[in-house]
Amino acid sequence: MARAADSGAPPGRQWRQSTVLLYLRSLLALAIIWSLIALWVGNHVILPQPTSVAYELFRLIASGEMLVHAAVSLWRLALSYALAALIGIPLGLLMGLWPWASDLLDPVVEILRPISGIAWIPLALFIFGIGNELPIFIITYVALFPFLLNTMAGVRATDRTLVRAARTMGVDQRTIVRHVMIPSALPQILTGARIAGGAAWMSLVAAELIGAPSGLGFAIEWYRQLLMTPKVIAVIVVISLLGYLTDRGLRWLQQRLTPWSTGIGANP
Amino acid sequence: MSQPVPSGPKLRLDGVRKTFTVPRSGATVVAVETADLTIEAGEFLTIVGPSGCGKSTILNMLAGLELPTEGTVAMDGRTITGPAAERGMVFQDYALFPWKTVFENVEFGLRYGPHGKGLSTAERRRRVARCVELVGLGGSEQKYPHELSGGMRQRCGIARLVANEPDVLLMDEPFAALDAQTRIILQEELLRIWGETGNRAERRTVVFITHAIDEAVFLSDRVVVMSAHPGRIIEVLDVGLPRPRTDATRTRPEFQALSQAIWNLIRDEVYRAATAAGSAGGARD
Ligand SMILES: Nc1ncnc2c1ncn2[C@@H]1O[C@H](COP(=O)(O)OP(=O)(O)OP(=O)(O)O)[C@@H](O)[C@H]1O
Ligand SMILES: [Mg+2]
């Protein structure tokens, strides 16, 4: 039953290799332009050469310092992301399934949603101080809404005929929720998970810049104060790489869990 | 000519009227205008009529998916208040679960519904495999609906209905998306599943909707002809052709005479409906 989900494209290694090549080519072009601009700027603190960034990146990794920062950040991220999913998905189901729940919660969600996670940082500093709690609170807050809203919309968008079909086979409401509405909402829930992943990374760095004594965001701020720009950029490179890998992982999960959704557009 | 089966009417529509309120304008649409109909146990009944005359609405009420605005719909003398596994349905737009394979779709009712209670997993799988085979989908068990052609989807819907072994089979244009050859094969298959050659008392009850008049005559004991605007039953015709029906049935003069008679009824209705729709300035779906 494990089936490849890539639609039409030649599957497997060949495809992956050419993608890697495409990425490397673009990155090389970026590095060259960056290098030229750095030459023109001529100030190591404002814009160092990519080679010195690469060197610092290597040293940070070799000394183990990068690993420590990355591990702390990833741990906070994973915890908050899981919290957001655990709160957001059930709430989204509740609001999608029962009008009274959405009548109750919708105004609250609508009022909170436009407030950026960053806007809460000063207040969170009062409440939590500097430590783990602040970034965890901010990331959870930010990742919660994509989970919640996508789950709710997905459940609401369940095709009525499918529910009717299930009912003519005599199944009960629980089965309909479990085996019709949730699977039907799953592609949208997973889209929400990817949006939440992106938002979580962005808010992680923002929260750690100000409110944490460790982590990648903290490292950026620390080396900025020491005017060690190559190290600042080296940390940024790692953040970008980890963020990208997170999204690849979620995309892989999406294709694993909903192999059928790629062809949905072809349905009448 | 069809003899009533001793057990009495299986399904009964009693002064049934169904109206819908159009959400935005608040206007009332009469989908079915006072229909009275009894369907005997073991009977194969077909409903024909122009598009929009309320065929699907009647079927939905028999399924319990819609409740009549006035009157009652009953099965075995008990008023139908909601859907149940005894009344299975094939939907006009297939209604397959996109996230389930052909096999899992066919398995759905037995796996999660009351009709699979007491079946072992192996028995259930065997029955599902048999039904998949029956509609000619053997080899496509692991495909998802989006990987199937329209005709294959429809056959999957039929297999899903048959696998759940309902008492009453409600079929909304189940053969509409099939090519002519497959259609003929499946018509004969359906009659076999229904129990044409077997004991009368063991037949299930089938209510079948179609646009094809020859299909209606070939399959049914009785044909209900409906008219549109408002949807009402204008004629109920006994078919009376001997069973089992074969290719030879289609060439019999009674077959052709009856098909012609039904067509005459419907043709008038189609013209009338078309003129009515034209004067109302509305395009029909
Ligand atoms: N849920 C609904 N809301 C409003 N109007 C409806 C609804 N369902 C059906 N109708 C209307 O009731 C009438 C009968 O519809 P129905 O679907 O029963 O027709 P039908 O005979 O099955 O047509 P077709 O052959 O095209 O499938 C139509 O005019 C349709 O617009
Ligand atoms: Mg219809």
Say how many Å lie between the CA of residue B210 and the centre of ligand 2.
Answer: 9
**Measured between CA atoms, how close is B166 to chain A, in angstroms?**
8
- Please report the atom of ligand 1 found closest to the CA of residue B30: 12
Q: Which residues surround ligand 2, an ion (CB under 5 A)?
A: B 56
CA angle in degrees (0–180, nearest 5) for B230-A161-B34: 20
What average pLDDT is seen over chain B?
Answer: 89
**Measured between CA atoms, how close is B220 to chain A, in angstroms?**
23
Contact A170 B82 (CB under 8 A): no
Q: Is A7 on the interface with B (CB under 8 A)?
A: no
Contact B65 A167 (CB under 8 A): yes
Q: Is A167 on the interface with B (CB under 8 A)?
A: yes
Residue B24's pLDDT is what? 87
pLDDT above 90: percentage of residues in chain A: 75
CB of A220 closer than 8 Å to CB of A170: no
Residues B261, B210: Cα–Cα separation, whole Å:
16
CB of A260 closer than 8 Å to CB of B146: yes
Mutation target for A interface from B57, B61, B97: give the one with most A CBs within 10 A. B97
Core vs surface per residue B164-197: b (16+ CB within 10 A) or e: bbbbbbbbbbbbbbbeeebbbebbbbbbebbbbe
**Measured between CA atoms, how close is B206 to chain A, in angstroms?**
15
Residues A55, A49: Cα–Cα separation, whole Å:
10
Residue B219's pLDDT is what? 96
Residues A232, A53: Cα–Cα separation, whole Å:
9
Q: Is A170 on the interface with B (CB under 8 A)?
A: yes
How far is C-alpha B106 from the geometric centre of its chain's CA atoms? 18
What average pLDDT is seen over chain A?
Answer: 89
Residues of chain A with pLDDT under 70: 1-16, 262-268
Taking CA atoms only, the protein residue closest to ligand 1 atom 16 is B54
Residue B76's pLDDT is what? 94
Option in A159, A170, A263 nearest B113 (CB) = A170
pTM to 2 decimal places? 0.83
pLDDT at residue B5 greater than cutoff 50:
no
To test the pocket of ligand 1, the residue of B13, B17, B25, B56 to mutate (highest count of ligand atoms within 8 Å of its CB) is: B56
Say how many Å lie between the CA of residue B229 and the centre of ligand 1.
Answer: 11
Residues A164, A172: Cα–Cα separation, whole Å:
11
Complex-level ipTM: 0.87
Residues A239, A224: Cα–Cα separation, whole Å:
16
- Please report the atom of ligand 1 found closest to the CA of residue B229: 29
**Domain at A54-262: CATH code:** 1.10.3720.10
Residue B279's pLDDT is what? 53
To test the pocket of ligand 1, the residue of B18, B19, B20, B233 to mutate (highest count of ligand atoms within 8 Å of its CB) is: B20
Residues B203, B201: Cα–Cα separation, whole Å:
6
What are the tens digits of pLDDT across the range A6-39? 444 445 556 667 888 888 899 999 999 999 999 9
What are the tens digits of pLDDT across the range B10-33? 999 999 999 999 888 889 999 999
User: Domains of chain A: which residue ranges?
Assistant: 54-262
**Phi (first) and psi of residue B222, to 5 degrees:** -140, 150
**Nearest of A224, A169, A218 to residue A70 by alpha carbon:** A218
